[in-house]
Amino acid sequence: MEGRRKDFEDLAVNLTSESLNSVDSLGYTLLEWATVFSTSHWPIDQFLIEKGAEIQTDEGLFRRNVFFIALKFLDPDKDGQTPSLAFHGVDIRGVNQSGDTALHLALYGGKGQTAKKILSQVKDYDVNATDSKGDTPLYLAIRLKREFVLIKKILARTNSESVNKHNEYGNTALHYAILNQSKAVVEELLKRMDVDVNVKNNDNHTALHFATFLEDFPIDWFRDILRKSTNVNAQDKEGHTALQTAILRMSKRAVKELLNHNSVDVNVKNGANKTALHFASLWNDIPLDLLRIILEKSTNVNAQDANGNTALQLAIVKKCEAMIKELVNHKDVNVNLKNNQNQTELHVASVWKNMSVDLFRKILEKSSDVNAQEIDGHTALHISIIYESKIILRKSTDVNVQEKDGHTPLHCAIIYNSEIAVNELL
């Protein structure tokens, strides 16, 4: 402490009168800061006054600035225990140069006791004011996880416009209450008829999107948000619906609740042309009951994404056997569609070295052209040899097909040192 004091005093000695009395970006002077942090052991304010620091405003504004500084920057443990936080005779309705009210500052600084005192002693205190970032006291209290009693007091005085107000990121108080998994706060917000669950943030996420981010959410308020949502298929910036987000997050309960809703559309495509079925194919241990509902509601099980991949192709890439089994046994599945690399399901399956023989055979049996060539000219046989798959031959397979470099499957077998393949092909 003595070292810090000496450093400060050495620095202050070189300050001009103008510097000592200048105002910072928040509108506070050095003397106002010093008044907050002065102690009997280190009276910084008296030291500055001796060096030429003066009160630059009227006494009332000086006291308010000292109060504002203490609210935000003083140790929260000193809440209610220091004269700096006493506001009798202080005009606490003003704002600092960042647009912060006393309540904003109390919330930022963790001064819950003082915040409650402001609300109880100043009955007409405006809790709906926003700071320069667009934050309301309600939003701040929830985002900063302040005590529920205080949040409830602020909410009770928050008007309909402010309760749905969003900050610079587009997030509302409800959005943050969900993200913070503040069960009591979410329930309190949803009790209000004027809380809008359909507000989108800058990423176009609604409250329903946010709810699907969580695995362990109370089912009652998830259903409440779902019931109040006017568009359960609303898409975020990437085109994801709440259902797609829930599948991506592997949130079983959210997926189940959404699939039980009559208006949820599994066929909506995101920005990459993926449907719910595409996302389901990426979930390795997706519950079969959920998968079957998605399949049943899908109008096109062969829908192709922006890369031309079907759900079956993605499931093969992810080696999701349960998904592959459901899809290859589906009456409408077409294994002959080509993606942007001209690959069919057979090409993709040939990469999987230890694929189930039964599943491979089913794809093989449904393939209309086992000699189809992908963009580099490889047939499924070429790929099987390159990736050392043991499922490499069928009578109708043409062993003489050349890829773009002129290599036949036998060339590939020799190049990749596959003795088994060489013996089979000769």
**pLDDT tens per residue across span 249-267:** 999 999 999 999 999 999 9
The stretch 384-392 carries a mean pLDDT of: 56
Higher-confidence residue of 31 and 158: namely 158
Query: Where along the chain do its domains lie?
Result: 1-125
- Pair of tokens at residue 60: 């009332």
Do 383 and 349 meet the contact criterion of CB atoms below 8 Å apart?
A: no
For residues 264 and 231, the answer to whether their CB atoms sit within 8 Å is no
146: Cβ contacts below 8 Å, ≥ 6 apart: 107, 110, 112, 115, 140
Report residue 313 as tokens. Answer: 């192709």
Residues 330 and 291 sit within 8 Å (Cβ to Cβ): no
Q: Say whether pLDDT at 5 is over 70.
A: no
Contact 117, 85 (CB under 8 A): no
Range 302-327 average pLDDT:
95
* pLDDT for residue 394 is more than 50: no
Token pair belonging to 38:
């002065």
Q: Is the pLDDT of residue 30 over 80?
A: yes
Cα torsion 366, 372, 378, 382: sign = positive
Is pTM beyond 0.85 here? Answer: no
- CA dist., res. 352 & res. 339, Å (int): 17
- Of the pLDDT bands very low, low, confident and very high (cuts 50, 70, 90), residue 10 is low
Residue 228 has pLDDT above 60, yes or no: yes
Asked whether residue 56 carries a pLDDT value surpassing 80, the answer given is no
Decide which of 262 and 405 is more confident: 262
Query: What is the pLDDT confidence band of residue 417, given thresholds at 50, 70 and 90?
Result: very low
The domain made up of 1-125 has a fold known as: 1.25.40
> Which residue would you say has higher pLDDT here, 278 or 217?
278
SS3 (DSSP) at 23 = strand
